[in-house]
Amino acid sequence: MSRWTTSTERFFTALRVSVIPLALALSACGPAHVQVEGEFPTPLMEPLPLKLGVWYADEFRNHEFHDEAKAPGDSDWVVTTGQAQVNMWDTLLQGMFTEVVHLESEPGTAPSQIDLDGVLIPSVDELQYAIPTHTSIKVYEIWMRYRFKLVSPAGEPIGEWTMASYGKTPTAFLQSDEAAVNFAAVMALRDAGANFATSFTDVPVLQPWLQSRGIVAAKPIAAP
């Protein structure tokens, strides 16, 4: 399994995650339920001169993952990340672009908003996690892979790419497994935000679109 690490220090000054108390739904026979909550700083950067639409599909807004107990004594887990995902991406995008517009319908299914430069559609492509009962060490980890589509307001494709993020926390910092899973998820989301902010103008498939709007890559793009 690949483990991706990227420092959030390049764009975020807050080095400590202030984790909001969890909303936990636990019962004697039911799964451990974590509603991921946290704080997400605005990126410290000059906004790109783009008016970007964003479309969050229902699957993204309500994203959660399930894990069934692997052995007697283990718990089933339900970890809901949807609202935290939306909160993080809203904060990030509003700091990255001069204007962000939330679409009420999927691009191409309603009259085009011709004043938008493009529409971003994020989705969670893959999510994996490890807790002590899986790894036998006291570290909680979450790996996420996002898939992004950038389309015109009419839904015509501009580019598609993937991006990885990673978060972890030792249990020594927290009092419960649920709090540790929440902390790791928040760290993975913050890492995703830092990755996106630092790499957006360098995504090869977006270069023609960016250049047509007078935006150049932050670093040279290798020839294919």
From 22-31, 100-109, 123-132, 141-150, the region with the lowest mean pLDDT: 22-31
Rg (C-alpha) for the chain, rounded Å, is 19
Which structural domains are found in the chain, ordered by start?
19-39+49-211 (3.40.50.10610)
pLDDT in tens, 175-201: 677 888 888 899 999 999 999 999 999
pLDDT of residue 217: 76
| Whether residue 203 has pLDDT greater than 90 | yes
Say if CB 85 and CB 92 are below 8 A apart: no
This prediction's pTM:
0.78
Local structure of 73: helix, strand or coil: coil
Of the chain, the percentage scoring pLDDT greater than 70 comes to 73
CB atoms within 10 A of CB 189: 25
**Banded pLDDT at 80 (limits 50, 70, 90):** confident
Residue 142: φ, ψ to 5°: -135, 130
| 68 vs 86: CA distance, rounded Å | 26
pLDDT above 90: residue 204: yes
Residues 53, 106: contact at Cβ < 8 Å? Answer: no
Q: Over the stretch 7-54, which tens digit does the pLDDT of each residue have?
A: 444 433 333 333 333 333 333 346 778 888 889 988 888 999 999 999
